[in-house]
Structures are given as structure tokens and as C-alpha cells.
A and B are shown apart, each in its own frame.
Chain A
């Protein structure tokens, strides 16, 4: 572990819930930008940003796709903000089994927001650019963080997730078994 500090560029999308008009242009833009070929199809079901809408309770919350989880959480928190009640799920960007958000409709594979950092990286994520009512705004700031050790390579990441799934022993056994056959 080295305890050096380095500056890191942090990208954020700020969401002003009061400004959302529920037009879902962010969903349309996101799905178009990430479709192959680019802009080939618009389909909110493939979008990595979704507006959670409950008209009768005035809930309009754009959320971005974050991590994937294989298990549901209890999701039992109810938040009251300015007299309005929100479900915990309304703020959660996790691709999880309890709802349809952030999964490819065909394959069920999880989707994750990449802040439009594809090549070439956009000056602002596309969803922010189309949000004319300024519900979504983009902020970049620098933050001092602890420097990480060597960045982990693909193999390390892969091994780590195998170990998470099957346990270290089974993975070691499998490595031994497979390599002995070579």
C-alpha cells in the first residue's frame, strides 16, 4: 500500500428533481448514443438513465445505471423529502433482479452508465446535453485521493470475480485440474 495522494478527475451529474418535466429525452438520447451502429435505434428500455415516474405521487427521479447485483436488497427504506414519500428504489441505480431497469431487454445482461466516455469522449454526457430544462447538469471537479497500487489487469479482475463466485479453493482446484491436462 502506498499512502501517496493524487488528484483524480471526478465526473458527476447533478439532478434537480424539481426541474424534471418527465419528457424522457435523456432515455431516448442515451439509448440512441449507445446503440450499434450509433444512433441506430432509440429504445428507452436499453437506456442507462431512466426516469422513475409515479405521476400520482409526483415522483420524477432520473437515475443512472450503476453496479450489477445478483441479489435483491430488502429495499425497505421510505424517505420523506419535503413532505413527499420516495421508495428507496427510486434513487437506486443498481441493475438488480427486482425490476426491469438497466438490463438489455434481449439478453438480460446488465447495463452501466459510462458517462459517454467512449471514443471520442463527449464534452458532456449526452443525457445532460439534451436536458433542456436543466434537471441534469454536469460537473467535473478534482479530488485528492489515495493513489491506488498498480492498476489491476483484466486477468486479475477475472480471477477475482471467479473467486467471489466459487471460493478460492475451487478456483485453485480447477486451475490445477485444467493445467494438468495440458
Chain B
């Protein structure tokens, strides 16, 4: 018997209209766990690096986490993986809600979609019965509305639906997949739209078996209560009216400036009143007591659920009050547009117009106020109409298509992807490393375990460290010695980057929410899940005996395999740099030293390519073989002397 996982994937070929239920290889679970880990293995095996992301042979994989459908609280984030036409690299997205656990109960660990349908379809999975159904009547329908319409036509109010909106249908690069209170962003909706798959509806009623049920239930029951009581987890801003953290620290407009003094008591009271006016209810995801989402009823808009920092992104990009954000979100979530990247794209377009690079000829009828302009642009982009067809390719590509100096306004992308609008003063080395080397295109998917800033008061710092169960010993030492305005050492920086990303790589495989784990330790240092208690949850559920170092190693294996996917598609050291102006004061020499040290720590060569030795230690020999065959690694590479020579040569 397979524990925690179902042992079956659903393979859908939309070109041929075929549906297969395929047993998975049980040996992959101890190597990769599940979720993103096993998805990466499938992408490695089946999608050659030459393949265009818009090829029918590109795969779109929905993965449940290994712990979905078990009683483990907060295990509900579904991973979506494919290759992105925007970056031409691996694309990784996660969404919460109820979809993953429902899919698990239907009897599947993953849905692997290949091919392209000739017209719009949706997938209906009801336990063993799986159908590809016509969705032409849903063309142009909103992403959230589509969910409701499908449930109604199937007479299945309990079905869980993930759908794309108009933006996805039109292959807009920043389109999302929307489900319940969550969105899958970072460029996966575009591939779903390319395959002409409007939605997936799933209903599952089967049991999931776990290895040590009584013990697991007991620790989960305790954990559920702990999560509820713990103020340092979940979305800590969800019930807060004080928005000063984002308002003061994040940049406005096209990631241009921080506005100190903008946040006042009067504004706080006004914005709080705005939120109250539209708030219907706070809601949570499956089996989690943290109500991180707000159900919003804005007059004239489809009801939607607000999450996280997208509460402010549009207002800050447009220099508008909060009401504007609630209004435009009601539209953009229905169109299925990413609430992080879209506002930056819109602000970028407004800047180009004001600079005379885009003119009234490009944008006939472009309104006068920023708020109206944003709405105008959203309509054009979602439909790929006129200038919208160019902008729908994201800031990087649009800038190059438009030309005439538009490239200068593309100052906040990295690896061709829009970054969080942060403009800071002094370079922070762990962050430099995470930005530069991350495969996930957004810092929020990489940072999170080690605090962003030191605690000035020594006594407070000691107290923090004393109860810091989540941290391996070495980090406690580094944090104790970290004084304000001081840099962390090379050794510390490298380790911090490594620990932060490792925790995400664990969440991504088992399906636990980063707000309870990998993202939350940095604020308060008391995340409910951490490297030392997670092994027990995984062991009780799966029956695999593992400890913190095993978990760390699995995360490293997945990290290297995903790295390899991008290396095979051409990623090299020269791509690994944060946006030029992310920090005002840079230290290029030290940054390169940091990068060298990080690569060395990871067992990568000076180009950031995992060496044979590293790959073999992680049972990824087949990656090394492939690299050598393709000439990415020289044969017999990996000896220290060769590495030193190569490093010297590259300088």
C-alpha cells in the first residue's frame, strides 16, 4: 500500500483527447517527495530543452503535495509547473484553497497535461470518471465566474475548480489560474490558455491512507491549535489597518520611489473604513485556522477574495487611494491577471506614454487620469488589442518590441521577469544571492527563514535566539553577532540563502503553506513548521523514516534538478544578477565573491552549473550524463584543480 500518496497520475493529451491513469514509480517518493519535486523529474525526463514553451509537447503539471489529504494542517498548496514563454525557463507557481486535497481524494497525485485542444475545453474529474468537456460556452467568462458556472452545470456544488479568465485564453504572459480564494501566478495561466484548457473541475470521495494514523492525528490536532494561537504565522497583515510596512518600504509607480510620510493616521483611518465597506468575510484554505483572505464585495464587480500584498499593488503602481485597488482587482481577478506583475506593467506603459515613447497613435483614446488609464490598459492587455498585444508579453519583451528607448524603462525585471517593487539603499548579500540564483522568479518564494534585519537590543536579540527552535545552531550564532548596519560574512550569507530556499523547497514538495513555514520564520522566528518538526509529520504520514538532514538533502536534490532544467535551457552566471537599481549602494567586487562562494557551497562550477560530483552525491547521475553529452559539462569535470583553473579563466 502507498501511504499519503495515491500512487497514480492522470495523463491528459488534449491533442488526441486521451485520458490515462498511470501508476507512478514508488522509488521517486523518497528521492523527491512529491509536488514540485516529482514534477521537476517529469519535466526533466519528458521536455527537451530545445522545446518552445508554446509547443504542444510542453507539459503543464498540477501537483498535489505529498501531505495533501492527510490531517496535516495547512497542507493545501497545489504546485503548477511548466516552461514559461516569458523567461524561457522553468515556471513554478503555487495556489492554496481546496484543489489539491480534492484531487488527492479523487485518487490522483498529479494531472499532467500535454498537447493542445482544437477548441476551448474543460476537464471534469469525478473519482474514476474523467471527461474532457466542451467549454466554448465559457469563452470570455471570468475565472471565478467560470468556477460557479461549471459547478452549476455539473450539479456538483462540492467540486473544486481552477480556471483561467480572458487573459489566459488570449495567452497573456502574466495570466493566472484562479481557484476559490487563491491564484496561481508567475506565468502558468498562459500555458493553460495555449492548450485551450479553460478549467479543471475535480470532486473526490476516496480515502487517503497514512502510515501511523493515530500518532499523526494527535500531532496534527495539537498543531492545528498551535497555528491558531501563533500570532507569527498566516498573513500577519490580514486583520491590520496599519499598512506602513508595504506603504513605506515598497516602491510606488513603476517601482520608482518610496514615499516617506505618505502613511498618516488619517489615511490609516480612511483606508480602514474603505476596507470595512467592502469586507464580507475572512476566509481560510483547507484545514487551516488562519483566515488570510478577505471576501470582497465591490459594487458592480464580481465578488472575489483578496490575498496578501495585492491589496495594495495596483494603488501603489498608480499612486491612487485604496478604493481604486479594490475596484480594479474585481476586474483583474476575473480576467485572471497576476496582481504582482500586472500593476508594474501598467505603470511602465503609463511612463512610456508620458515620456512620449508611446503616443496617441499607439493608444487612441488613452484617458487623462492614471486610474482611468489603468482600466483602459487592462482591457487592451486582456484582449491583446492594439498596444495591449505588445504589453501582454511583459515589461521585458514589450520594451524591446516598442524600442525608441523603452528599454531604459525596464529597470525592475530579472531573467526577463517583473520583480517585487523594492528599491533599497545598501546591498544585502544574502538577498543578493537569493535574487541572483533563484529559479522561482520572485523573492517571496525564496526568502523567509532568517530575519531581514538584525535586532538592535542585545537582550531582545538573545531572547529571540533562545526560543528560536526553527533555526539550526549556526544561524543562532550569526544572528547573535549581527549588529545594525553591518553586513553578514560570506559564510553566513551563503548559508542564509541556502536555508531560506531549502525551506521553500520542502514546502513545495509536501504542500504546506509558506505562511506557516518557509516564509514566516523571518518575522518573529516562530514558524509552526520547521526543519526539526516536519520530519515527524512526513514520517507519520508516509511511513518513511527520515530526519532533518534527510529532508535537507531531498530539498537540495530538487533544487539541483530544477537548476539543471534551467541550465539545460541556457541559464548561466551572466543571467544571475538582481535588477540594476534594486540597491542604490552596490559592491560589485564583494557581490562576485559572494556568488563564487555560494556556487562553491552548492557544489556548482564557476558558471553556476552543478558538477558531476555534486549531482552524483544527490543521485542525479543522469543529469551529469546529459550535461556531458550536451557539452554543458566537460567530461570528467569536477576535480578541484580543474575548477580553480576554470574559475581563473572566467575572470
Decide if B303 is an interface residue (CB 8 Å cutoff): yes
* A132 touching B224 in the complex, CB below 8 Å, given contacts A42-B208, A105-B205: yes
**Nearest residue in B to A103 (C-beta to C-beta)?**
B205
**Bound state CA distance, A96 and B204, in angstroms?**
19
**Number of residues from B at the complex interface, CB < 8 A:** 44
CB distance from B108 to the nearest CB of A (A): 15
In the complex, the answer to whether A41 meets B207 with C-beta atoms within 8 Å is yes
Selected from A23, A53, A58, A105, the residue in CB contact (under 8 A) with B287 is: A23
In the complex, the answer to whether A24 meets B286 with C-beta atoms within 8 Å is yes
Residues of B within 8 A of A18 (CB): 281
Decide if B17 is an interface residue (CB 8 Å cutoff): no
In the complex, the answer to whether B214 meets A38 with C-beta atoms within 8 Å is yes
In the complex, the answer to whether A40 meets B289 with C-beta atoms within 8 Å is no
* A21 touching B214 in the complex, CB below 8 Å, given contacts A45-B105, A132-B228: no
Contact with B along A74-112 (1 / 0, CB 8 A): 000000000000000000000000011000010000000
Decide if A130 is an interface residue (CB 8 Å cutoff): yes
CB distance from A50 to the nearest CB of B (A): 8
Decide if B325 is an interface residue (CB 8 Å cutoff): no
In the complex, the answer to whether A23 meets B71 with C-beta atoms within 8 Å is no
CB distance from B216 to the nearest CB of A (A): 8
**Bound state CA distance, A25 and B214, in angstroms?**
17
Interface residues of A in 1-60 (CB under 8 A from B): 18, 21-25, 28-29, 32, 35, 37-46, 52-56, 58, 60
In the complex, the answer to whether B69 meets A42 with C-beta atoms within 8 Å is yes
In the complex, the answer to whether A130 meets B209 with C-beta atoms within 8 Å is no
Decide if B355 is an interface residue (CB 8 Å cutoff): no
Decide if B295 is an interface residue (CB 8 Å cutoff): yes
* A39 touching B214 in the complex, CB below 8 Å, given contacts A58-B281, A100-B158: yes
Residues of B within 8 A of A144 (CB): none
**Bound state CA distance, A133 and B283, in angstroms?**
11
In the complex, the answer to whether A39 meets B213 with C-beta atoms within 8 Å is yes
Decide if B377 is an interface residue (CB 8 Å cutoff): no
In the complex, the answer to whether B295 meets A58 with C-beta atoms within 8 Å is yes
Residues of B within 8 A of A37 (CB): 213-214
* Overall SS of chain B's interface: loop
**Bound state CA distance, A182 and B479, in angstroms?**
87
Residues of A within 8 A of B105 (CB): 43-45
In the complex, the answer to whether B286 meets A105 with C-beta atoms within 8 Å is no
Interface residues of B in 270-310 (CB under 8 A from A): 280-289, 291, 295, 297, 302-303, 305
Decide if B148 is an interface residue (CB 8 Å cutoff): yes
Residues of B within 8 A of A35 (CB): 207
Contact with A along B139-164 (1 / 0, CB 8 A): 00000100010000000011000000
In the complex, the answer to whether B281 meets A60 with C-beta atoms within 8 Å is yes
**Bound state CA distance, A29 and B180, in angstroms?**
22
In the complex, the answer to whether A42 meets B71 with C-beta atoms within 8 Å is yes
Decide if B221 is an interface residue (CB 8 Å cutoff): yes
Residues of A within 8 A of B225 (CB): 132
Selected from A55, A100, A130, the residue in CB contact (under 8 A) with B180 is: A55
**Bound state CA distance, A29 and B148, in angstroms?**
27
Residues of A within 8 A of B208 (CB): 41-43
Selected from A28, A41, A45, the residue in CB contact (under 8 A) with B210 is: A41
CB distance from A149 to the nearest CB of B (A): 42
Residues of B within 8 A of A29 (CB): 221
In the complex, the answer to whether A45 meets B205 with C-beta atoms within 8 Å is yes
Residues of B within 8 A of A46 (CB): 207
Decide if B500 is an interface residue (CB 8 Å cutoff): no
Place the interface of chain A in its size category: 20 to 34
In the complex, the answer to whether B282 meets A21 with C-beta atoms within 8 Å is yes
Decide if B206 is an interface residue (CB 8 Å cutoff): yes
* A133 touching B289 in the complex, CB below 8 Å, given contacts A40-B213, A41-B213: yes
In the complex, the answer to whether A43 meets B206 with C-beta atoms within 8 Å is yes
In the complex, the answer to whether A22 meets B70 with C-beta atoms within 8 Å is no
* A133 touching B210 in the complex, CB below 8 Å, given contacts A21-B282, A24-B286: no
In the complex, the answer to whether B144 meets A132 with C-beta atoms within 8 Å is no
**Bound state CA distance, A52 and B158, in angstroms?**
8
In the complex, the answer to whether B209 meets A133 with C-beta atoms within 8 Å is no
Residues of B within 8 A of A22 (CB): 283-284
In the complex, the answer to whether A25 meets B287 with C-beta atoms within 8 Å is yes
**Bound state CA distance, A60 and B293, in angstroms?**
15
**Nearest residue in B to A58 (C-beta to C-beta)?**
B280
In the complex, the answer to whether A54 meets B157 with C-beta atoms within 8 Å is yes
CB distance from A105 to the nearest CB of B (A): 4
Decide if B353 is an interface residue (CB 8 Å cutoff): no
Selected from A32, A38, A99, the residue in CB contact (under 8 A) with B71 is: A32
In the complex, the answer to whether B70 meets A42 with C-beta atoms within 8 Å is yes
**Bound state CA distance, A45 and B127, in angstroms?**
12
Selected from A23, A38, A58, A100, the residue in CB contact (under 8 A) with B285 is: A23
Residues of A within 8 A of B431 (CB): none
Decide if B376 is an interface residue (CB 8 Å cutoff): no
Residues of A within 8 A of B324 (CB): none
Residues of B within 8 A of A32 (CB): 71, 213, 217
CB distance from B229 to the nearest CB of A (A): 8
CB distance from A92 to the nearest CB of B (A): 13
**Bound state CA distance, A53 and B209, in angstroms?**
26
Residues of B within 8 A of A43 (CB): 105, 205-208
**Nearest residue in A to B204 (C-beta to C-beta)?**
A45
In the complex, the answer to whether A25 meets B295 with C-beta atoms within 8 Å is no
- In the assembled complex, 24 residue pairs joining A and B whose CB atoms fall closer than 8 Å, in A order, are A21-B281, A21-B282, A21-B283, A21-B291, A23-B284, A23-B285, A23-B286, A25-B287, A32-B71, A37-B214, A39-B71, A39-B218, A42-B208, A43-B207, A45-B206, A52-B157, A55-B295, A55-B303, A56-B303, A60-B281, A130-B221, A130-B224, A132-B225, A132-B228
What is A's interface to B at a CB cutoff of 8 Å?
A: 18, 21-25, 28-29, 32, 35, 37-46, 52-56, 58, 60, 99-100, 105, 130, 132-133
* Contacts A24-B98, A32-B213, A43-B205 supplied; 17 other A-B pairs, CB < 8 Å: A21-B281, A23-B288, A25-B224, A28-B71, A29-B221, A35-B207, A39-B213, A40-B209, A41-B207, A41-B213, A43-B207, A45-B205, A56-B148, A58-B281, A58-B303, A60-B283, A130-B224
> Which 10 A-B pairs rank lowest in CB-CB distance, beginning with the nearest?
A45-B205, A105-B205, A39-B217, A41-B207, A132-B228, A21-B291, A23-B284, A21-B284, A132-B289, A39-B213
What is B's interface to A at a CB cutoff of 8 Å?
A: 69-71, 73, 98, 105, 144, 148, 157-158, 180-181, 204-210, 213-214, 216-218, 221, 224-225, 228, 280-289, 291, 295, 297, 302-303, 305
